[in-house]
Amino acid sequence: MWYEQGREHVWLPYTQMKRAPLALPAVATNGTRITLSDGRELVDGIASWWTACHGYNHPHITKALETQLHTMPHVMLGGFNHEPAMTLAQRLSKLLPGDLNHVFFADSGSVAVEVALKMALQYWINTGENGRDRFVSFNFGYHGDTIGAMSVCDPDEGMHSLFKGILPQQFIVDLPRTKEEFIEFESFLKSKKNEIAGVIIEPLVQGAGGMKFHDSETLAAIYNIAKKHNVLFIADEIMTGFGRTGTMFACNQAEITPDIMCIGKALTGGAMTLAATVASEEVYQAFYADTYKAALMHGPTYMANPLACAAANASLDLFEQEPRLAQGAALQSLLADALEPCRALPGVVDVRAKGAIGVVQVERLRKVSWLAERFLEQGVWIQPYGDIFYLTPAFTIDDADFSTLTDSLCRTMADWSRL
């Protein structure tokens, strides 16, 4: 009844509402499973867009939420501060690389990216360097769906190409990999540095743009060039943060400390929406002044929502108390081995894994509805997009559910490749 009556009123994400098949009615989650209204259970291969790293409904997070719910579900941060936010900010400062010590909370990843861009622009205004108002970002990058975030996404291949020409104009370049490309990248940065506020990158994995990987040397080299030419380096770890690439943060693998870092998604272990933009000491100091004009003029109504902060603190407990990072890291070879048979299939271009991300890239994705039906029949939740099939399961997935996912994916891809 709720489904029939509500269906027309919920406008779904990235969906042509006229043509799209009906969305599945989810009624419960538990561990790595999603239950549908007819009682069927699906093994989740995506962990709700890479958020539920401990699996759904982890009792420790649920308990923290219940306790917080009864004391203070929300209070405005303007004029107040509270224990869940202050504890979380301190813990994040310890956990994040270097002197990323100043946490500005937001309510979604896109907003955290907006704040990062604004913070970088104002950093230059506050330090008296006018005209540094553009960003360098990379083809195949994805940073969110709001206007500023869209402006630094891939302008052609991404989902926002419709808005090309309307968005603020940025410098969007190929991610350098070879020696020659690095020389070119550096000379470009050097020539435009007086116009550039910052470089923004998804470290190690360009996620929604096709799960494209680069190595830690590449990341470190881009960082070093940005630093050499005095350009702010912004790491968008909204997807990669909290163990997804095998270390707590992808930047750890390159041993770099960005000037600004965005985090979100798995910050609360997938239980609540929360994100943050974290600034280094130097960036923070540019705002720390006697004049009000130098302050950061931003403040989402629900920023640092106590329930969300309580969930995030509980999620960090689990990283401390359980072998969560090791579990995530161990998935790399398991995914690589399990997906390897797909490489021989016609139409498959590449099979790769990094941390808890397994990818089968194809020449062209087709028969998407057929695929969705096959996956559903087999009791798995796998959602191919662009030119990839991918798995980003909870780090806690057990062997049986892992095999169910990878077997179904390989079997379905074999059938699909023959269609």
From the CB of residue 146, how many other CB atoms can be counted at a distance below 10 Å? 15
Q: How far is CA 171 from CA 277, 359, 400, in A?
A: 22, 28, 46
Taking the C-alpha atoms of residue 245 and residue 214, their distance in angstroms, rounded to an integer, is 11
Q: How far is the CB of 144 from ligand PLP (least distance, A)?
A: 4
Q: Is 238 in the site for ligand PLP (CB under 6 A)?
A: yes
- Selected from 198, 207, 270, 300, the binder of ligand PLP by CB under 6 A is 207
Tokens describing residue 227 = 């630093």
Which candidate, 212, 85, 78, places its Cα nearest to that of 158?
Answer: 212
The b/e string for 202-228 (b: 16+ C-beta within 10 A; e otherwise) is: bbbbbbbbbbbbbebebbbbbbebbbe
- Asked if 152 touches ligand PLP (CB under 6 A), the answer is no
150 touches ligand PLP (CB under 6 A): no
Q: Which residues are catalytic?
A: 14, 142, 236, 265
Q: Which is nearer to ligand PLP, 240 or 404 (CB)?
A: 240
**Residues binding ligand PLP: number (CB under 6 A):** 14
Asked if 160 touches ligand PLP (CB under 6 A), the answer is no
The single-letter code of the amino acid at 9 is: H
Output the residue with the shortest Cβ distance to ligand PLP: 109
Q: Is 303 in the site for ligand PLP (CB under 6 A)?
A: no
**Cβ distance to ligand PLP smaller for residue 142 or 395:** 142
Contact flag: residue 208 with ligand PLP (CB under 6 A): yes
| Residues 139, 154 contacting (CB under 8 angstroms) | yes
Figure out which of the listed residues 45, 144, 203, 306 binds ligand PLP, where binding follows CB under 6 A. Answer: 144
Nearer to ligand PLP, 145 or 184 (CB): 145
Binding of ligand PLP by 239 (CB under 6 A): yes
Helix 306-321 and helix 324-339: axis angle, to 10°?
A: 80
Selected binder of ligand PLP within 202, 219, 358, 396 (CB under 6 A)? 202
CB nearer to ligand PLP: give 143 or 214.
143
Closest contact distance (angstroms) between CB of 251 and ligand PLP is 13
Site string for ligand PLP, 97-116 (x = CB under 6 A): -----------xxx--x---
Q: At what angle do helices 368-377 and 399-417 cross, to 10 degrees?
A: 140
Copy the structure tokens of residue 80. Answer: 């107040």
Degrees (nearest 5) of the Cα angle 149, 234, 290? 100
Q: Residue 142 interacts with ligand PLP (CB under 6 A)?
A: yes
- Give yes or no for residue 269 binding ligand PLP (CB under 6 A): no
Which amino acid belongs to residue 338?
A
Minimum CB distance to ligand PLP, residue 57 (Å): 21
Task: Name which position in 158, 176, 264, 384 contacts ligand PLP (CB under 6 A).
Answer: 264
**Burial of residue 109 (number of CB atoms within 10 Å: 0-12, 13-18, 19+):** buried
Structure-token pair, residue 195: 């116009």
Q: Which residues bind ligand PLP (CB under 6 A)?
A: 108-110, 113, 142-144, 202, 207-208, 236, 238-239, 264
